[in-house]
Amino acid sequence: MNANASRSLPDQGSENPPGLASFDALLSINRPMLAAMTEINGRFLEQFSRANNEWLGFVNRRLNEDMAASQRFMECKTLQDLFAAYSEFFQRAQQQYQAEFQYFARLNQKLADETATVIKSHMDEIEADVRH
């Protein structure tokens, strides 16, 4: 039996297992990208949460408006009143959907810009490490 194999881990001193050195090297090489991905994931989750809250609020507002419009439609006495109510309903819905889609376009653009900034900053760190 090998004398080293019979020693317990505390008795081995500062000797590292053979695979640990290569794992540490691999980890140090990938550390900047892992940091970047961690930061990007955090930002993505924040944006996703914000988008979900906004979308649920929008759907809730639209449902309330749709129910109120149904009430207005039932109260119409003439055909002109009904056409005016429908026209107002569709114009308002179109404006609200357009504003909501613009909001999501800005939100997605912000996320894309932040992602690019994070990746660039971490790539700068990697390039600096490679030069030294």
Query: pLDDT tens, 26-84?
Result: 777 778 778 888 888 998 899 999 999 999 999 999 999 999 999 999 999 999 999 99
| pLDDT score for 81 | 96
CA-wise closest residue to 51 among 106, 127, 121: 106
Instruction: Look at residue 129 in the predicted model and tell me its pLDDT.
Output: 67
Q: How far is CA 111 from CA 21, 42, 108, 126, in A?
A: 37, 11, 5, 22
- The DSSP-derived string for 46-71 is HHHHHHHHHHHHHHHHHHHHHHHHHH
Q: Which of 21, 48, 35 is nearest to 126 (CA)?
A: 35
Q: Please count the other Cβ atoms lying within 10 Å of the Cβ belonging to residue 36.
A: 19
Q: Is the pLDDT of residue 127 over 80?
A: no
Q: What is the mean pLDDT of residues 14-24?
A: 65
Q: CB pairs under 8 A, 24+ apart, for 41-44?
A: 43/111, 43/114, 43/115, 43/118, 44/111, 44/115
Q: Which two tokens stand for residue 85?
A: 């109510």
pLDDT tens per residue, range 86-119: 999 999 999 999 999 999 999 999 999 988 888 8
Ramachandran category for residue 17: left, alpha or beta (phi over 0 → left; psi -120 to 50 → alpha):
beta
pLDDT value of residue 72:
95
Residue 6 has pLDDT above 80, yes or no: no
Eight-class DSSP state of 10: G
